[in-house]
Amino acid sequence: MLSRHRPSPAWYRSEMFPGPSVTAAADVVDYSRNQGFGIYHAVGSCAMAPDGDAVVDADLRVCEVLGLRVVDASVLPFHASGHPAASVMALAWLAAERLMAG
């Protein structure tokens, strides 16, 4: 299979993450679960939640701070599979609708 691909670029030296020693599929899954980063798009630091412990409410307003909303991946309670661009765009549409409504 690899013979069908072009050689790696000259700047590529070796695999960084999870590293060349991780070869079994289960080890790759374990690494992903333990490291848990998603292309540096932080999620959950301002997560919405139905209980009273959330940083933002369902209208994306920061609790106890008048006039401040958060509209980025940090309000997502968990990382969706794939790139977060579509999720953040949906949040932006939601925020725009809520702002227009008053």
- H runs (alpha helix) in the chain: 25-35, 85-101
pLDDT at 86: 86
Whether 23 contacts 31, CB under 8 Å: no
Annotation marks residue 5 as catalytic: no
pLDDT, one tens digit per residue, over 31-88 is 877 776 555 567 778 877 766 678 888 888 888 888 898 898 888 877 777 777 888 8
Whether 71 contacts 95, CB under 8 Å: yes
pLDDT at 2: 43
- Of 5, 41, 79, 83, the active-site residue reads 41
**Against a cut of 0.85, is the pTM above it?**
no
CA nearest 95: which of 52, 65, 64, 62?
Answer: 62
